[in-house]
Copies of this chain bind each other. A is one copy, B any other.
């Protein structure tokens, strides 16, 4: 990288909603911008569950960062991973080198949280990256393939049992989509099984799904999910996950569920850069590792370091921290992008204030819930609002005409055309029935 001039250098770490909106809002500012991300694309995470459930392809919800920022001449994109920083020297340490900054914006987001049970990760993957989504997609569709071949009814039902842990928006979206796959898309595709026999269980620890929503919307979402064929287990905690078995506890009652596909949508923790920042600057972090930020999104004692998006805990508005959703990150990115040049000019802008336009969660085709604060909606109208809001934001960076066509196509065909099982070979699917490679002409089969 070549850094020649003496302009104020803003380094942004992370090209998610927070970082990318900050970069774009700095387009005409008298600064030099470097955006560092370990991936070469911005991911439209709200639609990641559609990749996991074979409605969309990864490229359809990803925008190459260089493409988005190609016209922005004051901005350079670097593919690299920040591993440490020196706040006194104002330097970042990346895997491929170091990078000095004048102002720093950290927006590296969150990953899955297993609440001390990290060993559940292999059995119950979460959904944060493109690779996570392809892994979920692979497990969901492999399960039906294995069931088609399995002769033992009990084992077959385990292949046809899907447990989703966590009744927030992601869990609700996954459960709804898997129900639609089992009862719709795959209906005529098998000969030995009826995919409609699939059991889809959604496990939630609190007393209702979508807990941040008004209780009426939670109830309507629950009803819609049940209508799609999802079984809800609220007030239910996961005690253990191992080897295709989930042990849950509702009150005093323990239940053992044989399920070959277990998906994790229960919690998030801050990316490790939050901890690094804590060690280097002494800034406080919360239990999830999120960085406690000041009213202007900077951190204590370091007015030139900002933390935004899911990585930040902003607790200066309302009774709880702002939620980890895209609109918060976008508004924070834009706020900091205005704050930095203003402070250079000696101004002191007012603190950050989040404008809440509402919350959306989708359950299935034609069904969503929308909480606009002054108005709660569910059903088809809510779904239309969800569709248009997502198209609007999705096409902002990089006109995703193809997604609209794909959605239109999927809508009318109820298709799940992206159901490729990719990655390493997984055969045999039914290891108990596998064969030894016969030698010579003597073919031998293990029982």
Q: Which residues of A contact B (CB under 8 A)?
A: 1-2, 38-41, 54, 57-60, 62-64, 66-67, 70-71, 76-81, 83-84, 86, 89, 91, 93-98, 130-131, 141-142, 145, 148-149, 186, 188-192, 280, 398-399, 401-402, 405-406, 409, 415, 417-423, 425, 427-430, 433-435, 437-438, 441, 443, 445
Task: Determine the chain B residues whose CB is within 8 A of the CB of A398 once the complex forms.
Answer: 417
| Residue pair B79, A443 in contact (C-beta under 8 Å) | no
| Residue pair B96, A427 in contact (C-beta under 8 Å) | yes
| Residue pair A435, B94 in contact (C-beta under 8 Å) | yes
Give the CA-CA distance A398 to B38 in the complex, in Å.
36
Give the CA-CA distance A286 to B79 in the complex, in Å.
47
| Residue pair A80, B420 in contact (C-beta under 8 Å) | no
9 pairs, A vs B, C-beta closer than 8 Å: A58-B422, A66-B189, A66-B190, A79-B148, A80-B149, A83-B437, A84-B443, A98-B445, A402-B402
| Residue pair A2, B417 in contact (C-beta under 8 Å) | no
| Residue pair B76, A189 in contact (C-beta under 8 Å) | no
Task: Determine the chain B residues whose CB is within 8 A of the CB of A189 once the complex forms.
Answer: 64, 66-67, 70, 77
| Residue pair B40, A421 in contact (C-beta under 8 Å) | yes
Give the CA-CA distance A280 to B438 in the complex, in Å.
11
Select the residue from A63, A66, A419 with max chain B CB neighbours within 10 A.
A66
Give the CA-CA distance A93 to B436 in the complex, in Å.
9
Output the least CB separation between A197 and chain B (Å).
15
Give the CA-CA distance A70 to B261 in the complex, in Å.
24
Output the least CB separation between A390 and chain B (Å).
17
Task: Determine the chain B residues whose CB is within 8 A of the CB of A78 once the complex forms.
Answer: 148-149
Task: Determine the chain B residues whose CB is within 8 A of the CB of A186 once the complex forms.
Answer: 66
| Residue pair B40, A423 in contact (C-beta under 8 Å) | no
| Residue pair B192, A417 in contact (C-beta under 8 Å) | no
Instruction: Knowing A189-B66, A189-B70, A429-B96, say if A406 contacts B402 (CB, 8 Å).
Output: yes
